[in-house]
Structure 1
């Protein structure tokens, strides 16, 4: 298995990474939102509910 950050051989101590540095790079990406999935949902919960109800009304 190779490190998902740099593609070097995995070190069992830091699996699935090759080193603490690559593990820290991955953690920084998670904490910084680098792995966030883009969404088209409205930020406001009330807007999301209204949009869902409008779509549901179209189907019926």
Structure 2
């Protein structure tokens, strides 16, 4: 038996909604991604050469 807990509410997980305990907690997590609550850091600068080359081709 697994001791895994839901990352949203910390109740035991349900295999059907893993790693969450319910559809509700899965939807809460998805909403956090959509709203920008969860983010990955970016080290790209606005003036990166690759970005400038893309703009030149599109322009």
TM-score by length of 2: 0.65
Q: Look at both structures and tell me which one has the larger radius of gyration over its CA atoms.
A: 1
Segments of 5+ residues of structure 1 without an aligned counterpart are 50-60
Question: Is 1:38 aligned with 2:20?
Answer: no
Q: How many matched pairs?
A: 47
More helix as a share of residues: 1
User: 1:25 maps to what in 2?
Assistant: 28
Distance, in Å, in 2 between the alignment partners of 1:31 and 1:48 is 26
Segments of 5+ residues of structure 2 without an aligned counterpart are 50-59
Segments of 4+ moved more than 3 angstroms: 38-41
How big is the alpha-carbon RMSD for the aligned residues of Structure 1 and Structure 2? 1.8
